[in-house]
Chains A and B, each alone.
Chain A
Amino acid sequence: MAASLELPSLLGITIRRSFVVGRISLLIGGGMVVFYSAAFGLGGPLFVSVGTVVLPIFAISGGLGGALVFTNDRTKGVLEYLVAYGLSSRRILFNALVAGLVQVSIILGAGVAAGVTTYLLSGYALTPRLPEILLVYTFPMSYLTVSLMTTVGVFWTSLSSPRAGMNSPLGVLPMIGVVPTAAALVLALALGAYASQVLLGTELVVLVIVVSLLSRTDRLMPAERLLSPG
């Protein structure tokens, strides 16, 4: 028997398809991020203190593309095909995760660019606080919540039959991303002096949950779970 050829990762095409399949959520999420960033930028310091903090909440809804590709592929029998040719559950989840992260990167990039542009055009000078909060909170929190949303969405979808509407996994997914972010913000406001610690602590908790779920992929999502319920 001939030696096995290495399977392609299909990462590139998954990312590309996430833009087509998730174009509506991308447009809505991206549009909201750009609009609110630009609006907060006009307010000068408000962009730094509030805009950067609420940015992840809006960015999350634009990062659904990876989970959408997964759900779509499962329903259509594409995952069954890929598994038969040797692609692992782990690889399939990884591709969905990276696709979601690429989308949220683009949304955040556009949002920050819009906010900084209006901020500068309004006559305000940049302070070191802006890159600090972007790097410590806005970007990591967005990436982590999209990772949580995609991972939970993929596991949840693989356990359920397709349902339409708000009670389907996809309908609830944005809430899974928004809840920890919003909870962290409320807690940070309540514990003003410890706001940074609260936000960093929340990031750490989300990171632990995501890593813990990812490390159990093979057990939580055997190939059988990737078969179309149809």
Chain B
Amino acid sequence: MPSLVGGSREHDSATLTCQTVHSGYRNKPVLHAVSFSIDEPSVYVVLGPNGAGKTTLFRTIAGILRPTSGEVLIDGVPIGRQTARDQLHYLSHMDGIPDGLTVKESLDFYARVERATPADVERVLDQLQIREFSGTFISQLSSGQRKRVSIARVFLRERKIYLLDEPTSNLDPKIAREIRSLILELSKDRIVLYSSHNLFEAHEIGQYVIALKAGALTLFDRMQNVRAAHFVIGVRTLEPAALLADWERSGEYYIRELSGPELVPSLIRDLEAQGVRLREVREMENPLEDLFT
């Protein structure tokens, strides 16, 4: 079983364990023998192509779907028990906001479920920048505004494990960045499982990768250990460089494939020695893309 239990940081975190979990829907098995254990506070990005089982994994960990075999445990307690559920926050890819209420009333509704206080509601109104439409009915909000209200509920009350299924979809870039900052802050002492279709976002926020393919766990590793099959770099120069004329082009970038990132420093040195004035050198392919093939 891949395990990251026993990280070096001091923390008051829970341990989330999936033990040979088979799960799915009636007549439709989705997850096949998924096993891992986590206790280090961090952001774990859950990646995989459509239908790989990301949402099913979240629903199973959240206790909504019962594994057909295997177990989900939090601190050794099966997720079916309320004491285990109380350690979790689950944000599904649906908004999950009740109709017929204003933003403030929706948060009051969540606060009642979460056993949070009116002061918590006031705090998240500011934290998620939704106070300006707190009196507006949910049906009158844009999809991005609804998403912010939906996210607000996971900040009402602290829990040890956060399951966030595409939390930044439909958000404008500025708000998405702010939400990611909040999540990163949260992950200092909490476990966050985070699914996203945005690979650049996943690369930016995740310290670990959990990859699924056809319902099976295909990778569980630190983000820094995930490497692309093809390491391609792009070089942007201050003026057109005749020396790079034989390189492939992609927009403003001169493109070259290297055998690995360890060759980048020497390449930069060689180019500068030959008088190429560099403006930017970047990795062109996201190593996470390979997880989708």
Contact = CB atoms under 8 A, between A and B. Distances in A.
Contact of B98 (A76, A222, A228): A76
Contacts of A83: 63-64
B85 A230 contact: no
B179 interface: no
A80 B98 contact: no
> Which label, helix, strand, loop or mixed, suits the secondary structure of the B interface?
loop
Contacts of A13: 109, 112
Interface string A1-40: 1111101101001000100110000000000000000000
B84 A1 contact: yes
A72 B99 contact: yes
Contacts of A76: 94-99
Interface string B41-83: 0000000000000000001001111100000001101000111
Contacts of B153: 81
Contacts of B86: 2, 4-5, 86
Contacts of A223: 64-66
A204 interface: no
A81 B96 contact: yes
Contacts of A3: 83
B208 interface: no
B242 interface: no
Contacts of B66: 222-223
B64 A227 contact: yes
Nearest to B111: A8
A17 B101 CA distance: 8
Chain A interface extent, by class: 20 to 34
B26 A1 contact: no
Chain B interface extent, by class: 35 or more
A224 B55 CA distance: 13
A21 B26 CA distance: 31
Contact of A81 (B26, B63, B84, B90): B90
Interface in B96-110: 96-101, 109
A78 B115 contact: no
B100 A21 contact: yes
B164 interface: no
A80 B82 contact: no
Contacts of A10: 109, 112-113
B121 interface: no
B100 A80 contact: no
Contacts of A82: 113
Given A77-B94, A228-B94, A84 B85 contact: yes
10 contacts: A2-B86, A17-B100, A72-B98, A72-B99, A72-B100, A81-B92, A82-B113, A87-B113, A224-B26, A224-B64
Interface of B: 25-26, 59, 62-66, 74-75, 77, 81-88, 90, 92, 94-101, 109, 112-115, 153
Question: Top 4 closest A-B pairs, CB basis?
Answer: A77-B94, A20-B100, A4-B82, A81-B96
